[in-house]
Amino acid sequence: METGITPLLAQQAAQAPSKSLLDYIQSGGPIGYLIIALSLVAVGLIIAQILRLRIVALAPPDVQENLEVLLSRGDVREAMRFCKDEANDSFLARVMGHALERCSRSPFGFLELKSALEEAGQQETARLARGTDTIGLIASVAPMLGLLGTVVGMVGAFDTISLSEGVTRPDQLAGSISVALMTTVMGLIVAIPATAAYTWLRNRIDASVSAVAEMTEQLAAHLEGETGNAARQTQATPRARVREAHRA
């Protein structure tokens, strides 16, 4: 008996049609298509972030050289204009531009340069992290959508069982079970690389921002003389007032 059943099962397995990748994707239903759309968005964001986080893009060599020349000769106004120019738009130019503009408006002058650079750097770092946070959101949402598809598929399978008369045939449950399984698989396929990319990009942001911060410190060193002059003027102001009071 067993020798007759075994060849029969092998023959049925050989005759079973093989599914293509498109068939598996279609078996995921609308939720599967939504997961695929999220995967395409994640791929686009990852590529965009990789291009944005290059040191050449964050701090172009020509921008760094021009700022070093301008600040070394104390031409702060021209440096501010250079940073505001759209042709020089970059992480380094925005940080230096905001910091110089704040110091130029402050009564303390370049005494606030360090805090101004830190504040501007934090703002620009937050801008860089927004795209990466979206990738992390996709990594969290994709498995949830897969779980939703699983629940929807199981509900459909139980509905089929409850509405069928007599014994339910396996082919009646195949569609709902396929949705239940494929959406989970698709959600995990999107979530796993998206989570890895999110972690890698966050570390890349930290490393890139640290490298640009060193460049801003080197550029700010050219303004140490201006900082000392501002400090001497701040200290001299009360003395001048005392002298004027004595003269009066």
Cα separation, 209 vs 207, in Å, equals 6
| pLDDT at residue 192, rounded to an integer | 95
pLDDT of 152 above 90: no
What distance in Å separates the CA atoms of residue 226 and residue 109, rounded to the nearest whole number? 8
34-43, 73-82, 156-165, 173-182: range with highest mean pLDDT: 34-43
The tokens 């291009």 sit on which residue? 51
Token pair for 122:
């934090």
What share of the chain in percent tops pLDDT 70?
Answer: 69
Helices (H), the chain: 2-15, 21-26, 29-52, 55-58, 61-72, 76-84, 91-105, 113-163, 170-220, 224-247
Query: What's the burial of 134, exposed, middle or buried (CB within 10 Å: 0-12/13-18/19+)?
Result: middle
Which percentage of the chain shows pLDDT scores above 90?
33
Domain boundaries of the chain, sorted by first residue: 30-220
Weakest-pLDDT range from 63-67, 172-176, 184-188? 172-176
Tokens 């001497």 locate to 232
Better-predicted residue by pLDDT, 12 or 44: 44
* pLDDT band, very low/low/confident/very high, at 195 (cuts 50, 70, 90): very high
Q: How far apart are CA 41 and CA 49, in angstroms?
A: 12
Tell me the backbone φ, ψ of residue 27, rounded to 5 degrees.
Answer: -70, -15
Q: Which two tokens stand for residue 77?
A: 């106004």
pLDDT digits (tens, 9 = 90+) for 200-211: 999 999 999 999
Q: What is the pLDDT of residue 184?
A: 87
Token pair for 35: 């997961």
Q: What is the mean pLDDT of residues 12-24?
A: 53
What would the two tokens of residue 9 be? Answer: 């099962």
Averaged over 74-95, what is the pLDDT?
Answer: 89
- Choose among 6, 23, 25, 22: nearest CA to 14: 6
* Overall residue count recorded for the chain in this entry: 248
- 156 or 198, which is more confident: 198
Lowest mean pLDDT, pick from 77-81, 169-173, 205-209, 237-241? 237-241
CA 35 to chain centre: 19
* pLDDT for res 131: 83
Provide DSSP, 133-157. Answer: HHHHHHHHHHHHHHHHHHHHHHHHH
* C-alpha 152: how far from chain center: 31
Q: CA–CA distance from 87 to each of 25, 41, 93, 106 (Å)?
A: 45, 28, 10, 27
Residue where the block lists tokens 């738009």: 89
160-174, 180-194, 204-218: least confidently modelled range: 160-174
Mean pLDDT of the chain: 77
In this prediction, residue 32 carries a pLDDT of 84
Q: Report residue 244's pLDDT band, with 50, 70 and 90 as the boundaries.
A: very low
Q: What is the pTM of this model?
A: 0.71
pLDDT at 143 over 70: yes
Q: Which of the pair, 133 or 74, is modelled with greater confidence? A: 133
